[in-house]
Amino acid sequence: MLPESFLNYRRLFYLKLSMGLLFVMLVAYGWHQAYPVPNGGSWLGYTLGGIGTVQILWLMWFGVRKRRYKSTLGSLQGWLSAHIWLGMLLIAVVTLHSGFQIGWNVHSLAYVLMLAVVFSGMYGVFAYLYYPQKMAANQGGLTPDVMVREILALEQECLILADGLGNELHQSLLETIESVPLGGNVWQQLTQAHYFPWLVRKRRAILQQVGVNIDENLYDPTLFLVAEKLGETTALEENRQLRRLLELLTRKNALLARLRRNIQYQAFLDIWLYAHIPLSFALLAALIVHIVTVFLYW
């Protein structure tokens, strides 16, 4: 038996309720005879329109309810479950209300915005089920703060080691540390677009020659410089130090890759809210215009 969550709350109570309401609406729609065609101006159309309006307002109220920690109006988990299942039911309510009469007008704009709100919410459900698990697996028991501290410690060790291997290597390492891209704008967080994967593919053979395989889209100029120097040096001590530096840089870059991936997962987890909330208020505005327009020309 699955543990209770916001989806299967009270043995899928709100899913069953939504399916029951959908059945009743479909029966009413099939029985109702609207002239000349089903539309929002019939008694059933107005009834479904009223239900849809109340539903939208109630669904938007969830944003208030989840911030009222002392509320006794049901559990937050129950509210979330109802928000999800009754929110998806809204597609059927509004579609039947319109009588499938969709055109280029303000009424259809409200319909399109409603679909956008519901589908962005559905993505939100997927994100909250999928990405936390990915983040936990990616972190491997380490918090982002711990990863940052380990990266800083490795960088300090690398700088001490590079100090005895020539100014070029030390300067390259300093520049790399100072220019490490983390986060960035929303697009960069989602795509990791500033990690230069094409440069990695182009120069990966240099690392493979010294036994380093990179699966991540990382571009670390110092890593490639160390690999090149390893191919040129014949001094045993310098070779040992370069290999130690290569090992430290590889560990640092592996941690950086995990940290960046964590940022990417978090961005995918958060991005839907940047659409869902503004679209909800746009829907509310379009709904008011829709209602006012209908009653002006009623």
List the structure tokens of 100.
Answer: 């499938």
The neighbour count for residue 31, using CB atoms within 10 Å, is 8
Please name the residues in contact with 239: beta carbons below 8 A apart, sequence gap of 6 or more. Answer: 230, 233
Cis peptide before 36 (omega within 30 of 0): yes
Residue 73 backbone zone (phi > 0: left; psi -120 to 50: alpha; other: beta): beta
Q: Provide the 10 A C-beta neighbour count for residue 178.
A: 7
pLDDT in tens, 205-259: 666 666 666 555 456 778 778 877 887 877 888 889 988 988 898 888 888 888 9
Q: What's the pLDDT band for 166 if we cut at 50, 70, 90?
A: confident
**Cβ neighbourhood burial of 84 (10 Å; 0-12, 13-18, 19+):** buried
pLDDT by residue (tens digit) across 78-122? 999 999 999 999 999 999 998 888 888 888 999 999 999 999 999
Between the CA of residue 122 and those of 63, 94, 118, what are the distances in Å?
A: 16, 17, 6
